Amino acid sequence: MSESDAELVKQARKGDRTASDRLFRRYWKQIGVFIYQKLGPRGDWEDLLQDIFAKAYRSLKQLRHPERFGPWLYTIAGSACMDVLRAQMRRPDGGSIDDVSESLLSAPADESKLNGETLEAVRTAIGDLPDNYRVVINLRFLEGMSAKDIADFLGEPAGTIRNRIFRANRMLEEKLKEYF
Amino acid sequence: MDWQCDRTEDLVDNYLAGEADDADWDFAVKHAEECPECRQKLDDATSYESLMKSAMLAMAREVGTRPSKSPETFLSSGSSRRSARISMRRRNYTYIAIAAASVIIILVLFIAYGSLVKIKKSTPEELARLQVNTMSKAVALIRHPGKITNDRQLVALLEPKLAEKLKQDELPQVKEGKFLDPWEKPFRVMTDETSGRVIFYSVGPNGIDEGCKGDDVFPSN
Ligand SMILES: [Zn+2]
């Protein structure tokens, strides 16, 4: 059995590096997808994720409920995205063309598993959802969790989560009608 | 809209929330046989689900599913990248000596291993065998109301299941909505007459469809 987040948080706070290591590996993929949806194609994911995880690690002592590590990490990632977007808006040229072209160049040529246009459509549709909707949709379709699992994970009532999933699905189906 | 349609609509909502009940599912599939509107709804729900799942997978691939180096290296205090560099400098020579020794040991072991066992990648035949086995098993697990009418639909339904079972470099290529075998020919589908199962097979290195004979690669069981 793998250890719970809460146990790993407690060990990590005592300075156990393998515990923090495991904790962050556990969340790398889902937090990566979460920020990708908000920020769109670019080439510096590893740096962004490292900064988010380093920030979380530094403030681990302030986390009041170790069993809510996951949701807490999502809020940190959410505000990190806002910082990146704000910084981009302040830039005089208004964009990050360098980042985009870099990620296009480094993309393998046969990335035809799901065509680029469809992927980008789904990404923007999900990226436009409020963060709390986006979290449940990701946990549902990326992590394969049920509404009940998600409710336990977030510490919210199952009925609330169920409704949030229904509504998010409806919004996405409406926006993505022509893609499925 | 009668109560049957209502029950089907609830099923669709629950299904997309990951909480469909088997009995409800069976009921809805049965009802959909005589209600075109509900059949459409079920079809839409499963297509939407597979679109979401494959998009999530594609996004994860885009970002990378795991860190390229151990989180330990960037979880130090201060700004991550800068402080990593500083702490590196602080390490004393003991660490360098240990590192050098382990590099040598690993190198020796690697060379010894390499001479004992020829390190080789699996042959195209082995890869094709693995792929047809996995695809044929996965296709049996698809729960899809009604008929799957085109390759794209099939690929979208199968891809998430294959990604669970196969490593990144074992996944079959997809081109123009078809799975390709290691020789870049589309996999063929047929129904095995004895078991009634749908199986995938590859036309093999010669590229000629011999109906699971000759050099065609078909599932091993
Ligand atoms: Zn109906």
Full-prediction pTM beyond 0.90?
A: no
- A28-67 pLDDT, tens digit each: 999 999 999 999 988 899 999 999 999 999 999 999 999 9
Q: Is residue A114 domain-shared with residue A70, that is, in the same domain? A: no
Q: Greater confidence, B199 or A45?
A: A45
* Mean pLDDT, residues B55-70: 89
Rounded Cα–Cα distance for residues B126 and B2 (Å): 53
Confidence of residue A104 (pLDDT cuts 50, 70, 90): very low
Unique residue bearing structure tokens 């499963």: B46
pLDDT at position B86: 39
How many H helices and E strands in chain B? Answer: 7, 4
Q: Which residues contact B206 (CB under 8 A, 6 or more apart)?
A: B214, B215
**Predicted confidence band at B214 (pLDDT cuts at 50, 70, 90)?**
confident
Confidence check: pLDDT of A94 > 50: no
Position of tokens 């986390």?
A63
Domain span at residue B155 reads 124-201
Query: Which of B16, B40, B57 should be substituted to probe chain A, the one whose Cβ sees the most A Cβ atoms within 10 Å?
Result: B16
Cα(B22) to centroid(ligand 1), Å: 18
B214 lies in some domain: no
Instruction: Round the average pLDDT of chain B to a whole number and report it.
Output: 81
Whole-angstrom Cα distance, residue A74 to residue B71?
18
User: Can you tell me the ipTM of this complex?
Assistant: 0.85
> Does A174 or B146 have the greater pLDDT score?
A174
Mean pLDDT, residues A125-154: 97
| pLDDT band per the 50, 70, 90 thresholds, residue B74 | confident
Question: Are A77 and A142 contained in the same domain?
Answer: no
At B148 the three-state DSSP class reads coil
**Residues A101-124: what's their mean pLDDT?**
63
What is the percent of chain B where pLDDT is above 70?
Answer: 80
Looking at A109-118, B163-172, B181-190, B208-217, which range is the least confident one?
Answer: A109-118
Contact yes or no for B51 and A140 at CB 8 A: no
Q: Do both A64 and A27 map to the same domain? A: yes
> Is residue A101 domain-resident?
no
Q: Give the total number of structural domains in chain A.
A: 2
Is the minimum CB–CB distance between A180 and chain B shorter than 8 Å? yes
What is the distance between the alpha carbons of residues A55 and A46, in angstroms, rounded to a whole number? 14
pLDDT at A98: 40
Domain boundary among A68, A96, A124: A96
Same domain, A75 and A116: no
Domain coverage including residue A71? 1-96
Burial state string for B24-58 with b = 16 or more CB within 10 A and e = fewer than 16: bbeebbebbeebeebbebbbebbbbbbbbbbbbbb
Q: Residue A53 and residue B76: Cβ atoms within 8 Å?
A: no
pLDDT digit string (tens) for B38-47?
999 999 999 9
A133 and A82 share one domain: no
Write down the mean pLDDT value for chain A.
87
Q: Is there a domain that residue B21 lies in?
A: yes
Shortest Cα–Cα distance, B215 to chain A (Å): 27
What are B143-168's pLDDT values in tens digits?
665 556 667 777 888 888 888 888 88
Interface contact flag, B16 A123, Cβ < 8 Å? no
Same domain, B188 and B128: yes
pLDDT band for position B93 (cuts 50, 70, 90): low
> Which pLDDT score is estimated for B64?
87
Q: What stretch of H or E contains A62?
A: none
Percent of chain B with pLDDT over 90: 32
Contact A122, B49 (CB under 8 A): no
Please indicate, yes or no, if residue B206 is contained in any of the structural domains. no
* Partners of residue B16 in chain A, C-beta under 8 Å: 140, 165-166, 169
